[in-house]
Amino acid sequence: MEILAPAGNMKALKSAVAAGADAVYLGAGDFNARSKAENFGKNELRLAVSYCHDRGVRVYLTLNTLVKSQETEKALSEAKDAADAGVDAFIVQDLALALKIQKLLPDMPLHASTQMGIHNAYGAAFAKKAGFDRIIFSRESLPADILQSKEATNLETEFFVHGAHCVSFSGNCYFSALVSGYSGNRGKCLQLCRKRYTLTDGNKSKTGYMLSAKDICLLKNLSILEKAGIDSLKIEGRLRSPEYVSTVTEAYRKALDGKVPDITNVKTVFNRGDYSQAYVIDDRPDIIYDLTQNNIGSYTGNVTDIKGNTITVKGYKSSDGDGFKILRHGKEAGSAVCKNGKIFYTDSVKLGDEVRLTKKSSLERRTEVLISESDKREKIENFKVLSRKNHCSISDIVLNSYDLPCNNTNSCVILRVNEYTDKRLYPHTDIIILSPALYDANKIKTLIKDFNKPALLELPVEARGKDCDILLDIKDMNIFDGYVANNIYALEMFGDKPLVCGEQMNFLSEYKCTKIISEESAVAGKEDIVPIFMREIFMNLTHCPSRQLGYTCGKCTERPLYLIDENRNQMPLRRKKLYYCYHELLNSKIKNISDRLNRDIHKRLLIDARNIDGKKVYTALKDPYNLRFDEKTETRGRWGKGVK
């Protein structure tokens, strides 16, 4: 298996190479998902590629953000420069951009970014038809689904084995974008998931870092990934230090070579929450660490003595430059640093407090030594350049788009409902989209008998394991006029049915299909479906929030769940159930852009009745262009503004 290490700058890149990486991934320019990293300029990229290739290491460039139509030429120019520099492959999220790259650089291998959210064999099959050589599976993927994907497509497979775990499903977090305008899908996430919240169902409540996921560490689980057919082990961390890169890379190198890695050093360089194994060994894991949201390092000991502004930690061998965090009952209480053989603390410290090593000066020195040795390494002659293996093209894929039964003169109003929606709303719409809380074939069949309208089924973002069987059972009933896709697996699984691309397909630029515009979009065309009245989805959660309140699987709360922020905004959590349960974190405010619409352009209007008072929905249905805007309870989202 390949070890793929992060390179946020030149020193980190050298650290990765020195520690035994087979490949590195890096960003250059404006279209990579870590805009806060130093990244690489045009000339520095050439030097980086040369350095790596001289030492037998491959370089993958991240072009893994969503790209607006007006940015396409710039993105393609950066791709051309990177190809000229000799990078081995591009990591891409945006399907429209991938299509243009395939035309511009037909021999360049493309890797499907984890931001595409590929997590089952149907998504993998679509990626193969679209011309990708490698799939980077979402962190939520199950080993059995990865293996099935590998066997069905024989594409290269990649998986994140270490580092930060985004709590929202890969590619479908809109929290930062909708609250601030800074889009995680464009590399500018403000990490609102790392803030404190209160989770409550009105009966039980808990306050802490309720969305802060533990870091992933799969050092002890590599055999499971090997059996699942994983070809590349990816380490997250383009924003982390060179010593993090070298220490973690070296640990995975040792593990693959049958040696014992130093897990203490790995924890020291960065450890959020004492790690999880994602969904690799448990399909319903505890991935949240709500006590603190940052690095807690490795356990060193407890405070045994306090004298002035110094502390004593039994068993610690002093090393100047070492840094510490001090925890009390798991929460941060203070920090400390070793100077002149003594540990000086700040903030509050008590006897018995837990001391965690978060900076080890010897690891920094070791990294410098490794880089020096790597710099002197004999160059490899005639490094073999990768060539594209999969010559399929996105241009060959023709989506079976659903034709809305609307003319160009009158508006077409679409109502999105679930089983809790007031049936009296149905006669006041032209089309109904069913987005059920429970995906059960028999119950859905009964439910749509009352529609008496063209009916579409909204497909969930995730379909893992037995979820796919449930969706296929519904498909086999053949009772819907079409389907709404929110992940590329649906384009394959339901490819023979009329499709609408949902807003969570994330199209910010032109792509030929009937589509509901993304919530990150600022404008819409005549053929687009525009959500005008709804609660926006902030996050798609794979883990179970109810378990954080102490409920067990199958005995979860029937009460409404809310997440409350520091400003006392109450954000509903909406549950979806297939075989597995999922939750959508919703905006506390209702999006209403009725008074901002252009009647001559915006004729395909979507009103979402879920989690909104039925009387308000009725008012919107009766006169969608003249709905009064309430400054206190409503928002216009990113309409007219877009995202950065």
397, 414, 448 — which closes off a domain? 397
| For residue 380, pLDDT beyond 90 | no
3-state secondary structure 7-70: CCCHHHHHHHHHHCCCEEEEECCCCCCCCCCCCCCHHHHHHHHHHHHCCCCEEEEEECCCCCHH
| For residue 289, pLDDT beyond 90 | yes
Q: Are residues 377 and 515 in the same domain?
A: no
Would you state the structure tokens that stand for residue 157, as one six-digit string?
Answer: 């497979």
What was the pLDDT predicted at 142? 98
pLDDT-derived band at 408 (thresholds 50, 70, 90) equals: low
Q: Are residues 367 and 446 in the same domain?
A: no
Strand partners, 216: 163, 276
Residue 124's φ and ψ, nearest 5 degrees, are -65, -40
pLDDT-derived band at 169 (thresholds 50, 70, 90) equals: very high
Q: Are residues 605 and 512 in the same domain?
A: yes
CATH of the domain at 579: 3.20.20
Q: What average pLDDT does the chain have? A: 95
397, 424, 452 — which closes off a domain? 397
> Do the domain assignments include residue 420?
yes
> Do the domain assignments include residue 62?
yes
Cα dihedral sign, 450-454-459-465: positive
Nearest to 357 by CA among 337, 340, 339: 337
- Which of 290-299, 401-410, 552-561 is most confident? 290-299
Please check whether residue 325 is in contact with residue 358, taking contact to mean a CB–CB distance below 8 angstroms: yes
**Secondary element (H or E) of residue 522:** none
> Do the domain assignments include residue 347?
no
pLDDT tens digits for 449-461?
999 999 999 999 9
Q: Are residues 384 and 409 in the same domain?
A: no
What was the pLDDT predicted at 300? 95
What was the pLDDT predicted at 32? 86
397, 415, 442 — which closes off a domain? 397
Residue 99's φ and ψ, nearest 5 degrees, are -60, -45
pLDDT more than 90, % of the chain: 89
Q: Are residues 255 and 391 in the same domain?
A: yes
Residue corresponding to tokens 């004298």: 307
**Secondary element (H or E) of residue 533:** strand 530-534
What was the pLDDT predicted at 512? 74
> In this structure, which amino acid lies at residue 358?
T
Helix, coil or strand: residue 275: coil
Q: How far apart are CA 516 and CA 523, in angstroms?
A: 12
CATH of the domain at 392: 3.20.20.70
Q: Are residues 387 and 408 in the same domain?
A: no
Q: CB-side exposure of 41: number of CA atoms within 13 Å?
A: 2
> Do the domain assignments include residue 405?
yes
Q: How far apart are CA 534 and CA 612, in angstroms?
A: 8
| For residue 500, pLDDT beyond 80 | yes
| For residue 558, pLDDT beyond 90 | no
pLDDT tens digits for 536-546?
999 999 999 99
What is 74-94 written as a DSSP string?
A: HHHHHHHHHHHHT-SEEEE--
Mean pLDDT along residues 110-125:
97
**Secondary element (H or E) of residue 124:** helix 121-129
Mean pLDDT along residues 343-364:
95
pLDDT tens digits for 227-283?
999 999 999 999 999 999 999 999 999 999 999 999 999 999 999 999 999 999 999
What was the pLDDT predicted at 510? 67
**How many domains does the chain fold into?**
2
Q: How far apart are CA 397 and CA 604, in angstroms?
A: 25
Mean pLDDT along residues 615-643:
95
What is 286-330 written as a DSSP string?
A: --B--S-SS---EEEEEEEEEETTEEEETT----TT-EEEEEETT
What was the pLDDT predicted at 28? 92
Q: How far apart are CA 453 and CA 448, in angstroms?
A: 9
What was the pLDDT predicted at 561? 96
User: Is-above-0.75 flag for pTM?
Assistant: yes
pLDDT more than 70, % of the chain: 99
pLDDT tens digits for 192-233?
999 999 999 999 999 999 999 999 999 999 999 999 999 999
> Do the domain assignments include residue 101?
yes
pLDDT-derived band at 407 (thresholds 50, 70, 90) equals: low
pLDDT-derived band at 79 (thresholds 50, 70, 90) equals: very high
| For residue 357, pLDDT beyond 80 | yes
Q: How far apart are CA 147 and CA 150, in angstroms?
A: 5
Q: Are residues 388 and 451 in the same domain?
A: no
Q: Are residues 382 and 462 in the same domain?
A: no
pLDDT tens digits for 422-446?
999 999 999 999 999 999 999 999 9
Domain that holds residue 580: 398-546+575-635
Q: Are residues 391 and 481 in the same domain?
A: no
Nearest to 394 by CA among 118, 112, 156: 112
Q: Are residues 373 and 449 in the same domain?
A: no
Alpha-carbon separation of residue 630 from 179, 225, 635 (angstroms): 18, 51, 8
Which stretches of 494-640 are DSSP H helices? 545-548, 614-622
Q: Are residues 619 and 598 in the same domain?
A: yes
| For residue 642, pLDDT beyond 80 | yes
pLDDT tens digits for 586-614?
999 999 999 999 999 999 999 999 999 99
Helix, coil or strand: residue 555: coil
> Do the domain assignments include residue 330?
no
> Do the domain assignments include residue 257?
yes
| For residue 147, pLDDT beyond 70 | yes
Mean pLDDT along residues 491-509:
92
Q: Are residues 489 and 598 in the same domain?
A: yes
Mean pLDDT along residues 15-30:
95
What was the pLDDT predicted at 255? 97
pLDDT-derived band at 38 (thresholds 50, 70, 90) equals: confident
> Do the domain assignments include residue 355?
no
What was the pLDDT predicted at 508? 72
pLDDT-derived band at 29 (thresholds 50, 70, 90) equals: confident
